[in-house]
Amino acid sequence: MAAERAPWTLNDLGFTITFTRGISPASVLAGYGADPAQATLRSRAQALDLRADGGHDVLQAGVCNHWAFGYEEVGWDGTRDVVLQALSDGTDTLSLYTFGGKVFFSHWRDGERLERFEPGALYTRPKWEPRPFWNQMQARLAPGTRRDHTALALIEQHIRADLTETLLTGPLLTLLLTTPAPDHLAPPPRQPKHRKPLRLVQPPTSATPSSATLTVTRPPAISNPTHLPDAPDTLGQLSSS
């Protein structure tokens, strides 16, 4: 069995993390419907104390190679369509949720969902082409492979950076999510700039040079998109405890 790695070395219950290209940690907090002015720089230990005192989910935000991330231990706001729609306005957002053996990955661009699936679960395969993240995820899965580790490794390959224990222990911009994100969120503030098309980095093979990339394009509209179950009720109960 492969050695354990972050975030699992810090938290084995589960987590949700989003990565959004080209925005600031403060903009990540705004994308979740929170007020960045209420945030403070805190270590992970201080963030856990904040949760114990406040009884709500804690959101921490930082930067990993030009991709700003929002990290929730046990929480799941980073899976909500309204949050991902706001974060991805004018850019790309990747989301990973894992809890109780469930793993969900999604990719949003310009406020629209391009892919969302449970790695290895064929019934969740996106019904349109292209589906580059699904294809690469399936190629990486093998008997005995942990789906959550595989999904995070694919994200790290794509953003060209590792989510390390040192990074997650902080200090990071931190606040309490005292209320769920509303049904509609304005896009977080950011500086306008030219955005290049998202390219999914592919691992080198004998037939593919290491510099090869795969362009992700928006799929055609569909009348019956893939539906995935919401986060388990037990997670919501944990978040409110």
pLDDT at residue 158, as a whole number: 96
Q: Which of 9-18, 93-102, 108-117, 195-204 has the lowest mean pLDDT?
A: 195-204
Residues 6+ apart with CB under 8 A from 221: none
pLDDT at residue 66, as a whole number: 94
Q: Where are the domains of the chain?
A: 14-180+196-236
Q: Which of 18-22, 78-82, 202-206, 217-221 has the lowest mean pLDDT?
A: 217-221
Q: Is the distance from CB of 185 to CB of 33 less than 8 angstroms? A: yes
Question: CA-to-CA distance for 202 and 236, rounded, in angstroms?
Answer: 36
Question: Which is more confident, 89 or 3?
Answer: 89
pLDDT at residue 237, as a whole number: 42
Question: Which is more confident, 115 or 241?
Answer: 115
Half-sphere exposure of 161 (CA within 13 A, CB side): 15
In this prediction the pTM is 0.76
Q: Is the distance from CB of 74 to CB of 92 less than 8 angstroms? A: no
pLDDT digits (tens, 9 = 90+) for 130-185: 899 999 999 999 888 899 999 999 999 999 999 999 999 999 999 998 766 565 55
pLDDT at residue 178, as a whole number: 76
Question: CA-to-CA distance for 219 and 115, rounded, in angstroms?
Answer: 9
Q: Left (φ > 0), alpha (ψ -120 to 50) or beta: where does 90 sit?
A: left
Mean pLDDT, residues 3-7: 78
Question: Which is more confident, 238 or 61?
Answer: 61
pLDDT at residue 183, as a whole number: 59
